[in-house]
Amino acid sequence: ATASLGERTRGDFPILQRTVTDQETPVIYLDSGATSQKPQEVLDVLQSYYERTNSNVHRGAHTLSREATSAYEAARDKVAHFVHAFSRNEIVFTSGATEAINLVAQSYGRANLVAGDEIVLTVAEHHANFVPWQLLAQEKNLKLKFVHLDPATGGIDVNELEGYLNEKTKIVAFQHVSNVLACINPVKEIVQKVRSHAPNAAIVLDACQSLPHMVVDVQDLGVDFLAASGHKMCGPTGIGFLWGKEQLLNEMPPWKSGGEMIDQVTLESVTFQAAPGRFEAGTPAIAQAIGLGAAIDYLQKIGMKNIELYEHELAEYLYEQLQTVPGLTLLGPTDPKKRAALCAFYHESIHPSDLSTFLDMDGIAVRAGHHCCQPLHAELGIPHSARASCYFYNTKEDIDALIASLKRTVDFFAGLNNAADEADDDF
């Protein structure tokens, strides 16, 4: 049989050969929603940069600085091409999606929203796309509205959106893919609805959990801003980016200030670079940006469509196999075809942290907690959940190991409960 994409690529990732228990079997990493692993190609580029090219960018007139500058700006070109930006100037490097969204809230938000204006979010947003808007709303006395979940599908009820939109809606910010529900929001339909019912709204897309996993084309989607993190798409930590329409970016006031982002500084005044330089104060994360460029090269070699198709298989298999574990409730859409390759779940009597600890003892890495989505967990009536999240380097055998370990864990706790019941009966 043809080797799966996971079988063909897992050897590219040194860390996936590591064992984390006293058993010989390598770690089964099912926490890519938190951060992805890094292929050798990216690791080599980072090493080579520091060995051969390291220098500060945009300033020095010497060879190393010129080489570092062209490598850094080539990374920007790669990101621009990857998201099909209208222009390379629309790519602002940040430390990650969190910083990208904060930039929009504090620069665009402060300059364009006034008391009484409205921001529409969903209850499922990650805190990175929730708290910056809460703080802006507190600062400027704005109204926050939240699109809720559709109980029938387990996903976000975008039909509810229309009723929240009006002339005062100035921001509509939502995730492309949920890091907990696994739902894939219909971005183009949402954009159409917002454009027709909220003409003054800027649309901010949190693409953290979509960009690593599928083709994302900002021109096709029609949004105004997009935020993403490099570390979730085979890149190093410390790099992400904001894509924004060039005209919007150039109308926005600077955010962080200092060197690089200025044009002229005198004792009396200061003028600024145009985008993207305006928003890149200080020495940037040069190596990290170049590493992200190498990650994009790696992903493009595999093909984002191939990754998307393979992860559909993993998504369905993961969801269907988790349904065979007694006592589990799975979060998110009930149609496996409408899910990304992650699944959050909870057990009727076993704490998610106990589940993840027992899985860890079997060398399986999942996450337990609220996944920076406390409002969503409150909406679901649960304090936390466990979550398995896949990437293209995972295999169905990884999921089989997860399921087997979960069933052993559930049996173990059932045995404990039975023993406790018997002890009670003896009294």
Ligand X SMILES: Cc1ncc(COP(=O)(O)O)c(CNc2co[nH]c2=O)c1O
Which residues are identified as catalytic? 372
> Looking at beta carbons only, is 34 or 361 nearer to ligand X?
34
42 near ligand X (CB under 6 A)? no
Name 29's bridge partners: 365
33 touches ligand X by CB under 6 A? yes
Name the residue nearer to ligand X (CB basis): 69 or 94: 94
Ranges of H-type helices in 235-392: 246-251, 286-302, 304-322, 352-361, 374-380
Contact 295, 230 (CB under 8 A): yes
Q: 15: how many CB neighbours lie within 10 A of its CB?
A: 13
Q: Which stretch binds ligand X (CB under 6 A): 126-134, 251-259, 298-306, 414-422?
A: 126-134
Can residue 229 be called a binding residue for ligand X (CB under 6 A)? yes
Burial label for 145, CB within 10 Å (0-12, 13-18, 19+), is middle
C-beta closer to ligand X: residue 69 or 209: 209
Rule CB under 6 A: say whether 288 interacts with ligand X.
no
Q: Among 209, 356, 394, 409, which residue interacts with ligand X (rule: CB under 6 A)?
A: 209
Return d(Cα 119, Cα 70) in angstroms, integer.
39
Interactions with ligand X, residue window 238-277 (CB under 6 A):
240
385 touches ligand X by CB under 6 A: no
Residues 6+ apart with CB under 8 A from 4: 310, 395, 396
- For residue 53, state whether it binds ligand X (rule: CB under 6 A): no
Query: Residue from 117, 206, 224, 362 that binds ligand X (CB under 6 A)?
Result: 206
DSSP state of 147: E
Q: Is 129 in the site for ligand X (CB under 6 A)?
A: yes
Judged by DSSP in three states, 368 sits in strand
Site string for ligand X, 148-187 (x = CB under 6 A): ---------------------------x---x--------
Q: Is residue 128 a contact residue for ligand X (CB under 6 A)?
A: yes
Torsion of the alpha carbons at 15, 20, 22 and 25, rounded to the nearest 10: -50
Q: How far apart are CA 370 and CA 377, in angstroms?
A: 7
Phi then psi dihedrals of residue 328, to 5 deg: -90, 140
- Residue 180 or 410 with smaller CB distance to ligand X: 180
Of residues 208, 211, 294, 390, which one binds ligand X by CB under 6 A?
Answer: 208
Hey, what are 132's tokens? 């910056």
Return the residues of window 81-110 that contact ligand X according to CB under 6 A: 96-98
Binding site for ligand X (CB under 6 A): 33-34, 96-98, 126, 128-129, 175, 179, 206, 208-209, 229, 231, 240, 367, 371-372
